Amino acid sequence: MSETFLAKAQALKRSRRHRVGCAAAWEAVCPAALIDRTSVIGIRSGALTIGVADHATRYELDRFLRGGAEHELVKLSPTTVRRVRLVVDSSIREQG
């Protein structure tokens, strides 16, 4: 296999590990009442992107994160998280 292909494969594995680790940190920090209305989309350049089902959920999570939960999430994440972005993702539906 070419070196370029191997390098890409390693980068993808590393990216997946970071996303999975951040997802575990998110599940530990996110309020149970809101977890089904969120999804970890990914992490890039220190920005963890969380998809939310609607604007009301986004507002609730924004207040929650500003209240100290973002700091806790940063501490629990296995990779560097500098900020959390909340984006409305209409494909997310509350389960249950």
> Could you read off the pLDDT tens digit of each residue along the chain, which spans 96 residues?
577 756 555 554 455 454 567 889 999 999 999 999 999 998 888 899 999 999 999 999 999 999 999 999 999 988 889 999 999 998 887 654
pLDDT of 42 reads: 87
Q: Is there a domain that residue 94 lies in?
A: no
Q: Is there a domain that residue 95 lies in?
A: no
> Which CATH number do you get for residue 23?
3.30.300.130
For residue 70, what are the domain limits? 3-88
pLDDT of 96 reads: 47
Q: Is there a domain that residue 73 lies in?
A: yes
| Count of structural domains within the chain | 1
Q: What is the DSSP string of 61-96?
A: HHHHIIIIIHHHHHHH-SS---EEEEEE-TT-----
Nearest 5°: the CA angle 57, 61, 62 is: 115
